[in-house]
Amino acid sequence: MSERRDRRGKSSESVDNYLKAILTLGGSDSQGRRVSSKSLSDRLGVAPASVTNMLQKLAAAACPLVEYERHRGVSLSVQGRLRALEVVRHHRLIETFLYEILDYPIEEVHEEAERLEHFISERFEERIAAKLGHPRIDPHGHSIPTLEGEMPQQRSILLTEVVSEGTFLIDSIPDHDSTKLRLLQSSGITPGTRLRVRKSEDAEGYQVRVGLSPESLDLSPEIAHEIRIVPVTE
C-alpha cells in the first residue's frame, strides 16, 4: 500500500492524464501497442511539441514511466502501466459511487471523476470499493482494474466488427462524451441491453433494434466504434 501511495504522491494531474491516454490508445494489456505522438496530441488536445517534451521527460526520469523513441511512438513502462491502472481504478470506482450511491446522471459521472481521481487517498479508495461491494465494472460497462494493478480482460467486440446480422448484448458504451451518452441513454442503449444488429442499407452505419422494440435505429460508424457487444446464442 505504501508503495502505491508514494508513487502517486510524486505524480501530477498532467502526468496521470498522459499515462491514462497512452493506456487507452495502446490497449490495457501488458503488451500494449506503441502510441504515436499525434494520437496523444489529438486525444489530449495538446500541441505536438508539448507532447514530445513531456514524453522525453517521462522517459528520462530516474524511474522511467514510458519507453519513448522519436518517430516510433511511446509505450508504458511497467511502472507507468501500474500508475495508469491505479488512476483508472480511482476513476471508475468514483464513477460507480457517484452513479449508484449519489444518483448522478450517467452522463455527468465521467467529468466529475476526472476532477477527483488524482486526489483520493488509499483509505478513501478502499472505503468506496467496500461500500460498493468491490465492483468489477463501472456504470458504462468498463472493467475496473484490481487493487493489484491487473485489468480484467473483456471478451467483447466493437459493434463495427460485426460482419453479419445477429443478436448481441451491450457490454460497454463510451464514457467521455456527454452528448453521445445522452443520445444512447435516450435510445435505451445501455450495458446489458439486448441489441439486434445489421449493417445499414447505405453501408455507412449500423441499423439496430434495442431490447424488444420493433423500431429500428441508425447508428453512425463513429458511435458504433465506441460500443462493445457480446454475441447471444439464439
Q: Report helix, strand or coil for 200.
A: coil
Provide the greatest CA pair distance for the chain: 60
Confidence band for 7, pLDDT divided at 50, 70 and 90: very low
Mean pLDDT within 83-102: 96
Highest mean pLDDT among 54-68, 158-172, 178-192: 54-68
H-assigned helices in 63-177:
78-100, 106-116, 122-131
Cα 219–chain centre separation: 21
Question: What residues pair up with 35 in beta bridges, in sequence order?
Answer: 74
Tens digit of pLDDT for each residue in 120-145? Answer: 999 999 999 999 999 999 999 999 99
Tens digit of pLDDT for each residue in 185-219? Answer: 889 999 999 999 987 666 678 889 999 888 888 88
User: Which residue would you say has higher pLDDT here, 62 or 27?
Assistant: 62
| Phi, psi angles (nearest 5°) of residue 197 | -120, 140
Residue 110 confidence (pLDDT): 94
Rounded to two decimals, the pTM is 0.85
Task: Measure the CA–CA gap between 196 and 169, rounded to whole angstroms.
Answer: 9
Mean pLDDT within 144-167: 88
Of the candidates 232, 86, 94, 110, the residue with the CA atom closest to the CA atom of residue 171: 232
Residue 131, CA distances (Å) to 1, 134, 135 in order:
19, 8, 9
Tens digit of pLDDT for each residue in 10-47? Answer: 458 899 999 999 999 998 665 678 999 999 999 999 99
* CATH for the stretch 1-153: 1.10.10.10
Domain boundaries, the chain: 1-153, 157-231
Write the CB contacts of 147 (distance below 8 Å, at least 6 apart in sequence): 89, 129
| Fold (CATH) for 157-231 | SH3 type barrels. (2.30.30)
Confidence band for 234, pLDDT divided at 50, 70 and 90: low
